Structure 1
Amino acid sequence: MTGIDFATPGALALALLALPLLFVLRTRRRAAIPVSSAAALSGARPGPRLRLARALPALRVLAVVLLAVAVAGPRRGDARTIVPGEGVDIVLSLDLSSSMLQTFGDSTRLAVTKEVVREFIRTRENDRVGLVVFQQDALALSPPSTDYAALDRMVADLDSGLLPDGTGIGVGLAAALTMLQESTAASRVVILLTDGEHNAPSIRPEAAAALAAALNIRVYTIGVVSESPLERGREIDERLLRAIADQTGGRYFVASNPGQLQDVYDEISSLERSRITRDAFDDYDYFSPWFAGAAAALLALELALGGTVLRRSPG
């Protein structure tokens, strides 16, 4: 929970209006009654009724201060409230085909991908993350979850050969969409990573992309490629990956070294944070009505007392 603050703190300056009001009320005098001598009254002390009557204007001054506080909007709340059904659900769809064992920097494509994905998972706060792997077929390993420790262990244990070899981009995407189909999150995203061309006799990638667009699920595609443009053209179908991303409102990224792959996941994370502030909205209890009510009560009390028990006799 946060402490007390004000929606419009500058409005507190209105309380300064109480100063000239206090000055006017203290210096205002009723018309004096002429007497021949005040010597006889010099030792007289004012009675309780007179003292209360003199203090009566303080109620008006205090009412002005309370009204200024009410206008400033005092509030207390939790600025990190999670609303059920709001947020980002992300499914990571990872290619585990044998080509992912090729050298990539000082390691292999798969090893680097696993480290980058594990870091991506560790930096989540309230996003739910699911995991799908694919080769010729797809395997759903975890539905969207905030159990990041379990997800981390799953990714760490991934290896090529879990499924018949091949690159089924369509089935890898379709399996991820199935996970997100019933999601009520405000933002639903698939991040699909591959280093090859679709070559599996399964769901066509174009059909899966059309389904993603119909479900309003963004697909970010990542091509892990060689640094050589010549090799890159033979390894991967960039036209297809770009078309999938464009059709669903996502983006296509290229990673030809470990640093670029890390940058890609960082950029995707930044893009999603900028799209929706799902877990950081202001949920406050406002106390303005209480202060305004108290000010009105003080003004009413002043009028009631000034017009009845503390009413001065006409001079």
Structure 2
Amino acid sequence: MFENISFANPQFFWLFLLLPVAMLWYFFKRKEQTASLKMSSIKGFQKGSILPKLKPALFAMRLLALAAIIVAMARPQTEDISTRTKTTKGIDIVMAIDVSSSMLAKDLKPYRLAALKKVAADFINERPNDRIGLVAYAGESYTKTPITSDKSIVLRALDEITYGQLNDGTAIGMGLATSVNRLKESKALSKVIILLTDGVNNSGFIEPQTAADLAVEFGIKTYTIGLGTNGNAMSPIAYNADGSFRYGMREVEIDESLLKSIAETTGGQYFRATDNKKLEAIYEEINKLEKTEVEEFKYYKYEEKFRPWVYLAGVLLLLEWLARNTLYRSFI
């Protein structure tokens, strides 16, 4: 009956405490309000009217009317809420992903690149109001997808990123410069690069620091992530005769000083991910640091439902008045 109903003045429900008091008063006082007549015999009245037994119904109708008035005073109403959102600060993000052979190392499960793609997909899904692009780099770099608000395109492009699409190597400067190039014409209020690598800059013709300076010039913040465990990791070390990789233990080398320098120069932060959980935590932290400002407007439409209760109270009081002044007018 009261499903999806709210009350504007619920404090009036405290008045229901008066109803038990009224019932007790009626129970103790009703005999005093009824005239009595002592007779030696009632044989002549054995076929009397049923009205005396129904007289308490008058008081019951008055109580029900009072209860209906209390509900009406509480103002039952239905509420219809509509919302409209307005993005006031959009963020353009480019994710620069290292796809060199070392990203096949198995210190993250099942291997580094697969672990990264899973976490990056979750990150993309949690940025519905931002535009995102992808840059892949190894010995060289290229734009996998330009910045776009179509997350299905970005996710499909992310899924297609594999090892072997580029010459092997780690051109951190090239990856960062290509990312800057994708963002330099952006009109967004905030521009961010998330650059991930698991190695040392050893390829490319653009120095990482030069690319970092370009990012500063165009107002682009860069978060850097070093991916790989501490110590040694099961990594590709040679090719087998069938073209597959031969794995062996290899020392994990990450140029952390360079990554820290890039982050500090551009106003970002450096993170180190040594396992799957830490990688997930890093992307969650970046997601919290880079928030899109969304302004939400809520419109409330109320429909009052107190009128039926007023009508019910009126009908009950009218019936009680009619019965008292007709059927029970001369009742003793």
Question: Which TM-score band applies after superposition, normalised by the shorter structure?
Answer: 0.5 to 0.7
**Residues 232 and 242 (structure 1 numbering): CA distance in 2 closer, same or farther, change over 3 Å?**
farther
Question: 1:56-99 CA distances to partner (integer Å, 9 max, x unpaired)?
Answer: xxxxxxxxxxxxxxxxxxxx99651135xx41000000000000
Deviation at 1:257, TM superposition (A): 0.2
SS of the residue corresponding to residue 176 of structure 1 reads helix
* Matched AA of 2:112: R
Name the residue aligned to 2:215.
212
Name the residue aligned to 1:307.
none
Aligned mates of 1:201, 1:145 — CA distance in 2: 27
Aligned mates of 1:228, 1:234 — CA distance in 2: 6
Q: How does 1:65-104 map to 2 (within 5 A)?
A: 79-83=84-88, 86-104=89-107
Name the residue aligned to 1:262.
280
Identity between Structure 1 and Structure 2 (%)? 40
* Matching of residue 245 in structure 1 with residue 245 in structure 2: no
Name the residue aligned to 1:281.
295
Aligned mates of 1:183, 1:78 — CA distance in 2: 29
Please list every run of 5 or more consecutive structure 1 residues that lacks an aligned counterpart in the other structure: 1-75, 286-315
How many residues align structurally? 204
Deviation at 1:143, TM superposition (A): 1.0
Deviation at 1:146, TM superposition (A): 1.3
Structure with larger Rg = 2
SS of the residue corresponding to residue 290 of structure 2 reads helix
SS of the residue corresponding to residue 168 of structure 2 reads coil
Q: 1:159 aligns with which of 162, 173, 188?
A: 162
SS of the residue corresponding to residue 82 of structure 1 reads strand
SS of the residue corresponding to residue 95 of structure 2 reads strand
Aligned mates of 2:229, 2:198 — CA distance in 1: 9
Please list every run of 5 or more consecutive structure 2 residues that lacks an aligned counterpart in the other structure: 1-80, 234-248, 300-332
* 8 Å contact from structure 2 (residues 229, 252) kept in 1: no
Aligned mates of 2:276, 2:252 — CA distance in 1: 20
Question: 1:100-133 CA distances to partner (integer Å, 9 max, x unpaired)?
Answer: 0000333100110111111111111111000000
User: What TM-score do you get using the length of structure 2 for normalisation?
Assistant: 0.58
Name the residue aligned to 2:114.
111
* 8 Å contact from structure 1 (residues 77, 282) kept in 2: no
Name the residue aligned to 2:132.
129
Hey, which of these two has a bigger chunk of strand by percent? 2
SS of the residue corresponding to residue 223 of structure 2 reads strand
Hey, which of these two has a bigger chunk of helix by percent? 1
RMSD over aligned Cα atoms: 2.4
User: What TM-score do you get using the length of structure 1 for normalisation?
Assistant: 0.61
* Matched AA of 2:277: G
Question: 1:258-278 CA distances to partner (integer Å, 9 max, x unpaired)?
Answer: 1100111110010001xx51x
